[in-house]
C-alpha cells in the first residue's frame, strides 16, 4: 500500500532504520514509531497515525534497500 501523503525527513528515516536493527520485536518498533508520530506530529486520530506509521515503515524499508 502506498502512503504518499506522509513524508519524513532523512534524520527520522535514518533513526528508525538504525532502531530496526536494535529492536528485535516488530511490534515494539511499531509502537515506538506510533508514539513518535503521535507526539511529534499533529496527525490527528489513531487511524491517521497508523497510516503515517505505515508510510514511515515504507520509507525506512526503501531507505534500507538504497543503503544496502
Three-state SS string over the chain comes to: CCCCCCCCCHHHHHHHHHHHHHCCCHHHHHHHHHHHHHHHCCCCCHHHHHHHHHHHHHHHHHHHHHHC
pLDDT in tens, 17-53: 999 999 999 999 999 999 999 988 777 788 999 999 9
pLDDT at 41 (0 to 100): 78
Is the pTM higher than 0.75?
Answer: yes
Amino acid at each position: 500500500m502506498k502512503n504518499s501523503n506522509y513524508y519524513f525527513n532523512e534524520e527520522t528515516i535514518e533513526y528508525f532504520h538504525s532502531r530496526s536493527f536494535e529492536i528485535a520485536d516488530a511490534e515494539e518498533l511499531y509502537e515506538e514509531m506510533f508514539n513518535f508520530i503521535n507526539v511529534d506530529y499533529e496527525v490527528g486520530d489513531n487511524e491517521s497515525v497508523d497510516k503515517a506509521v505505515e508510510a514511515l515503515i515504507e520509507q525506512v524499508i526503501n531507505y534500507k534497500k538504497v543503503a544496502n
